[in-house]
Amino acid sequence: MVTLVSDGPESPHDILRLRGVHAVTRYITNEVQDVYRLQGVKINDKHIEVIVRQMLRKATIDSAGSSEFLEGEQVEFSRVKIANRELEANGKIAATYSRDLLGITKASLATESFISAASFQETTRVLTEAAVAGKRDELRGLKENVIVGRLIPAGTGYAYHQDRARRKAQGEAPVAPQVSAEEATANLAELLNASMRGDDE
């Protein structure tokens, strides 16, 4: 049990470091709920927890072990978990990590999908950096699939994406795309133009 020795609100980063993910999730959820309760608004905790989960989606590598990660590198927490599972199954040394708590803006910009990040903020910078780095967007999330006009990997589109992943894993020919490259390019150009108009205002 950790006892506070100072006055004032606790730092969420300290709560994460000292007491863990569940404690910081509970703390942030309660703090946000307090604001809404004062206004007489009832919100289910799950809605706030979804946002907090995105804020906690990154981890910093403390020790790479036998993994491909670099010490000090910030990566998706899910990637670290998958890599560690494979390393442990093969009898190798797993990577050690510490979870990161990002602000909402930074969490949105730090996503693996540059298309999703570009649609949020700093569109020109995000797309320029992606082009210079030669990045490729795998279109795994909801937002990026909506932007390019494809079925989202949820609901009725889930079966399509599962079939596509299975075909790719087995080396079969992919299902014909529902959106042409020209249409996807036009959608991205429209997004960039809209962002540039917003920057000028």
- Which residue segment(s) compose the domain that 36 sits in? 12-54
Please state, as a whole number, how many other Cβ atoms lie within 10 Å of the Cβ of residue 16.
21
Strand partners, 96: 63
Q: Please tell me whether residues 115 and 182 are part of one structural domain.
A: yes
Give the DSSP letter of residue 53: H
Strand residues in the chain grouped as ranges (E): 58-63, 74-76, 96-99
Residue 40: what residue type?
Answer: G
Strand residues in 14-150 grouped as ranges (E): 58-63, 74-76, 96-99
Task: Please indicate whether residue 111 or residue 179 has the higher confidence score (pLDDT).
Answer: 111
Three-state DSSP class for residue 157: helix
Interval 116-155: pLDDT, tens = 888 888 889 888 999 999 999 888 888 888 888 888 888 8
Q: Please tell me whether residues 131 and 179 are part of one structural domain.
A: yes
Q: Please tell me whether residues 85 and 96 are part of one structural domain.
A: yes
Q: Please tell me whether residues 100 and 175 are part of one structural domain.
A: no
Of 69, 88, 106, the residue that ends a domain is 106
Q: Are 72 and 61 in contact (CB under 8 A)?
A: yes
Interval 8-17: pLDDT, tens = 788 888 988 8
Q: Please tell me whether residues 20 and 74 are part of one structural domain.
A: no
Q: Strand 58-63 relative to strand 96-99: parallel, antiparallel, unpaired?
A: antiparallel
Q: Please tell me whether residues 50 and 131 are part of one structural domain.
A: no
* Average model confidence (pLDDT) across the chain: 85
Q: Please tell me whether residues 99 and 126 are part of one structural domain.
A: no
Domain count along the chain: 3
CA 171, CA 168: separation in Å to the nearest integer? 5
